[in-house]
Chains A and B, each alone.
Chain A
């Protein structure tokens, strides 16, 4: 089995009396897009900062690309949640400097910054000062700064924050491109629909601990409700075995009570001769799973 790109074992970090990360253990495998999720204050940013060697843990172990975090720094790209660039520098100059800090030669950093700015449709802004760009444009520049040095691992903390739908789509495409190039991506975001589209494995952190961890498909299956999605909608509210009926778009979600199986409902629909175009088992959205687990109604899944 290949060595994990990130291997965190029993990590702990406290600020005075507040324990931000409490015995966290997670592995990120090579070449995957890994979702690091959690509510505000869960410990995600603290964990990421320890991976990036910006903070030192109180105890536990972190290995990044097979080395200590400080040694791997130049092979990791990082887009922090707290956005920031050198506002009075020109865009090209800012990116060149940030590339040099990652160990690039000046000429290479200059060339690559121009290439990547073209890629995100900001090629005409190389000589403009960063403060002249809109917030969304600055975010794209900061995203470039995180990948300019062609890192093996990219950590993106809230990459979609503040972007319009067009730019969200562009960033999503960029993330997929990076994965296709063989890079490993750790994605922390609150846009659950985007996380569902992109991530293969996730870890959900709450109060500094992992409360959910594993393959997304398996987790969704585990949290699948005893419910069906039916179209066209039918008047099923008072049918035996039906607990709740709700409409989701053009579909109807029918939640059954614990004793009723989907085939029981299907038999009743067929016996009454009612029309049905779609009849399938409902899956929980990541959004629903997130809320359920964070509110304490979910199960804790071991690795």
Chain B
């Protein structure tokens, strides 16, 4: 059997065995379950649980808003408002339509509107609901009604939509670093932070299973049979791949449930994919993969040196700390993503994956930085695998003993 097939066999086995562990299933489903419980409780409290779930999961046609124009200034409706509004001559009919579910709400413009500016909006709901009337749309209808025939069409359009502001922020070097509108804030903060959080979660999840797998094979002594069949490098690589896929599975389940439960997040993410450079996502995915390969290897190696699962976890924590270091400096990175600290952290192999994923959506990373960063990882990962396999093999056969640093050095020096 080829080297690749052996590694895939090990990876498939590790994935299949751990994905059905009750602990994994419980923890993976726990977060979505908590989210669902939260939604149900909130809906139950307000007395509209059914309508809420229905509105989240059952697509429905948009309903118009009723309009009772007692001032006479805004009817007949302009064609552009014909779909969004339904004119009623009396409130009773509008209220009946609202209660029957034909309207989202209705608005009464009183006879003295021009003097007072008072408008009353009605909708169905309880203590925790809001009157869900599109105020921008209503404003446009009112402005148009007040100015039509008084000013030319262009001025009318400008009064209705005075400005389409395009914000641009500059960094310390005078280069554009992103905007200040809500979309840019989400792109500049939410995506890198969320992706990096997912990276850390995936690393911690997968590495805990990696440690357990290595420790169990050592404690049960089955490792000797396994090492008589496959090389330490094949074993380590297979475990990292298989349990990496396990961590990704967990993260994808959480991501999918987050999108489903928030409903609108899916639209936001889709919009942001369009506004952001797609290379950001490609490179983020690449750093995600390289980061896991590096940390998974280092932690499995450290884990093989422990005399017990607990000791292994303590040893492996040294490397997982490296993944978390950029978060300690995240405010500095966000403030100056092309500054010296951000650049150093994104080139040093242990901190590069997380740091670069924080930088990529915030700024245009220079090709030189990318080359050094990726080059460092492409050199470090095979070295970690090579050295890790040697130490891995030595550590796994030392039952009940922790190897001294000298022994580790000797293992690395052996051909």
Q: Is B1 an interface residue (CB 8 A)?
A: yes
Chain A interface mostly helix, strand, loop or mixed? loop
Shortest beta-carbon distance, B83 to chain A, in Å?
60
Number of A-B contacts (CB under 8 A): 67
* A 156-181 to B, binary, CB cutoff 8 A, 1 in contact else 0: 00000000000000000000000000
Q: A85-B220, A142-B225 are in contact. Are A101 and B6 (CB under 8 A)?
A: yes
Q: Is A87 an interface residue (CB 8 A)?
A: yes
Q: Which residues of B contact A78 (CB under 8 A)?
A: 224-225, 228
* A 32-54 to B, binary, CB cutoff 8 A, 1 in contact else 0: 00000000000000000100111
Q: Which residues of B contact A73 (CB under 8 A)?
A: 228-230
Shortest beta-carbon distance, B237 to chain A, in Å?
14
Q: Is A271 an interface residue (CB 8 A)?
A: no
Q: Are A145 and B225 in contact (CB under 8 A)?
A: yes
Q: Which residues of A contact B63 (CB under 8 A)?
A: none
Q: Are B9 and A100 in contact (CB under 8 A)?
A: yes
Q: Are B13 and A84 in contact (CB under 8 A)?
A: no
Q: Are B229 and A101 in contact (CB under 8 A)?
A: yes
Q: Are B393 and A54 in contact (CB under 8 A)?
A: yes
Q: Are A87 and B220 in contact (CB under 8 A)?
A: yes
What's the interface size class on A, roughly?
20 to 34
Interchain CB contact (< 8 A) of A56 among B226, B230, B407, B415: B415
Q: Is B214 an interface residue (CB 8 A)?
A: no
Q: Which residues of A contact B228 (CB under 8 A)?
A: 52-54, 73, 76, 78, 80
Number of interface residues of B (CB under 8 A): 26
Q: Which residues of B contact A16 (CB under 8 A)?
A: 406-407
Expressed in whole angstroms, the Cα–Cα distance for A53 and B234 within the complex equals 14
The residue of chain B having its C-beta at the shortest distance from the C-beta of A104 within the complex is B1
Within 8 A of A (CB), among B361-415: 393, 397, 399, 406-407, 414-415
Expressed in whole angstroms, the Cα–Cα distance for A178 and B227 within the complex equals 23
Q: Is A123 an interface residue (CB 8 A)?
A: no
Q: Is B102 an interface residue (CB 8 A)?
A: no
Expressed in whole angstroms, the Cα–Cα distance for A142 and B228 within the complex equals 13
Shortest beta-carbon distance, A143 to chain B, in Å?
11
Q: Is B270 an interface residue (CB 8 A)?
A: no
Interchain CB contact (< 8 A) of B397 among A54, A74, A101: A54
Expressed in whole angstroms, the Cα–Cα distance for A145 and B13 within the complex equals 17
Q: Is B222 an interface residue (CB 8 A)?
A: yes
Interchain CB contact (< 8 A) of B225 among A56, A70, A87, A98: A98
Q: Is B223 an interface residue (CB 8 A)?
A: yes
Expressed in whole angstroms, the Cα–Cα distance for A16 and B398 within the complex equals 14
Q: Are B1 and A74 in contact (CB under 8 A)?
A: yes
Expressed in whole angstroms, the Cα–Cα distance for A102 and B225 within the complex equals 10
Q: Are B1 and A82 in contact (CB under 8 A)?
A: no
Shortest beta-carbon distance, A84 to chain B, in Å?
3
Q: Are A84 and B10 in contact (CB under 8 A)?
A: no
Q: Are A84 and B229 in contact (CB under 8 A)?
A: no
Expressed in whole angstroms, the Cα–Cα distance for A102 and B234 within the complex equals 13
Q: Which residues of A contact B9 (CB under 8 A)?
A: 97, 100-101
Within 8 A of B (CB), among A68-119: 70, 73-74, 76, 78, 80, 82-87, 89, 97-98, 100-103
Q: Which residues of B contact A74 (CB under 8 A)?
A: 1, 229
Q: Are B222 and A84 in contact (CB under 8 A)?
A: yes
The residue of chain A having its C-beta at the shortest distance from the C-beta of B232 within the complex is A54
Query: Could you pull out 6 A-B pairs where Cβ atoms are within 8 angstroms?
Result: A54-B393, A73-B228, A74-B229, A83-B221, A86-B220, A101-B10
Given A97-B9, A101-B226; 14 other pairs, CB 8 A cutoff = A16-B406, A52-B227, A53-B231, A54-B227, A54-B228, A54-B393, A55-B397, A56-B414, A78-B225, A80-B224, A80-B228, A84-B222, A98-B229, A146-B225
Q: Across the A-B interface, give the 9 residue pairs with the lowest CB-CB distance, nearest first.
A: A84-B221, A84-B222, A103-B1, A101-B229, A78-B228, A80-B224, A82-B221, A52-B228, A84-B220
Q: Interface on A for B, CB 8 Å cutoff? A: 16, 49, 52-56, 70, 73-74, 76, 78, 80, 82-87, 89, 97-98, 100-103, 142, 145-146
